[in-house]
Amino acid sequence: MRQCGLLCENARRRTSGGGFVMLSAFSAGVRIAGVEAGSVRKAMRLALAAALVALLSSCATGRNPLAKWERSRNFNERQPMLIVLHYTTEESAEKSLHTLKTANSKGPVGVHYLLGRDGRIYQLVKDGKRAWHAGPGRWGTITDVNSASIGIEIDNSGHDPFPDVQIDSLIVLLRDLTTRLRIPPTQVIGHEDMAPTRKIDPGPLFPWKRLFDAGFGVWPDESAGDPPPGFDPWLAMQAFGYPLEDRAAAVRAFHHRFRGMDGTELDEHDLRILYALTRPPQPEPAPPAAEPAGLQPQQENIVE
């Protein structure tokens, strides 16, 4: 009843005084003497409709009718923090566009971008909206990947190499997204990374090393060497982001990504890769000694 009271109070603020009187009369069951019953009912219906419109419009603005609106300027739009790459397994970009606007055999699907084999970039969902591309799964601590990510579908059959022109376009798009949306360039993963038990895209043919050379994703540092005694590869897999509910599936996704091959068991080479990916940051070489400097201007410390 408390909620109803507040909602009615909000409706009162957003409708005319006459509307409020009529709504109150309706709510309290008050009889209005000397007025024809039919016209009273009609007036009440109109008032109720006006109140509902007012409440709905408050929902559309994102303002909670339960609360008094006190505007602050200290905010920005919510931003994605991850980019998830897929392949379509369809015959053409046109066919994929149709599917991504409707549904596949399992239900409605959507994605922010589709990359044609000719390098053309299509956008289907605005960057700030939650597209339905990732489904159940997890990457690190992110459990609702759709809410946290931009999805990019790449037009590919699933067993053909990715044309250079298509990867060139992907790199242009990644540069735009990571700059404009401030997504860390390392935060680019494959669909199979976050859902290894369900997915195998973008598969072992996807050129992750080329993407890394262009500044996106991650790649192991060849100079890291052998892992130290007691190194736990499963902890490393988990620390990197892989869900381990099905370890064999996670290793297959890992192999696709870092070795371009299938296989569900870790070997010595995998351990070196995992160590390189997860070892603590290495200290930078010391810079040459600088000339003594004078007093530096104090920089203001801005705390958000």
Interface residues toward Zn ion, by CB under 5 A: 86, 191, 201
CA-based torsion, 134, 138, 144, 145: positive or negative: negative
Tally the residues of the chain: 304
Nearer to Zn ion, 110 or 233 (CB): 110
Nearer to Zn ion, 65 or 190 (CB): 190
Closest listed residue to residue 100, CA positions, set 121, 80, 123? 123
**Is 153 a residue of the active site?**
yes
SS (H, E, C) 95-160: HHHHHHHCEECCEECCCCEEECCCCCEEECCCCCCCCCCCCCCCECCECCHHHHEEEEEECCCCCC
Question: Shortest gap between Cβ of 162 and Zn ion (angstroms)?
Answer: 14
Nearer to Zn ion, 90 or 201 (CB): 201
Distance CA 244, CA 238 (A): 7
Nearer to Zn ion, 191 or 257 (CB): 191
Cβ–Cβ < 8 Å for 236, 277: yes
Residue 92 Cα distances to 5, 73, 164, angstroms: 56, 45, 17
Indicate the pairing of strand 149-154 with strand 188-190: unpaired
Question: Shortest gap between Cβ of 185 and Zn ion (angstroms)?
Answer: 21
Question: Shortest gap between Cβ of 23 and Zn ion (angstroms)?
Answer: 50
Residue 202, preceding bond cis, omega within 30 degrees? yes
Question: Shortest gap between Cβ of 130 and Zn ion (angstroms)?
Answer: 16
Residue nearest to Zn ion (CB): 86
Nearer to Zn ion, 201 or 270 (CB): 201
Closest listed residue to residue 235, CA positions, set 175, 178, 277? 277
The residue from 77, 90, 94, 153 that is catalytic is 153
Question: Shortest gap between Cβ of 191 and Zn ion (angstroms)?
Answer: 3
Enumerate the active-site residues: 153
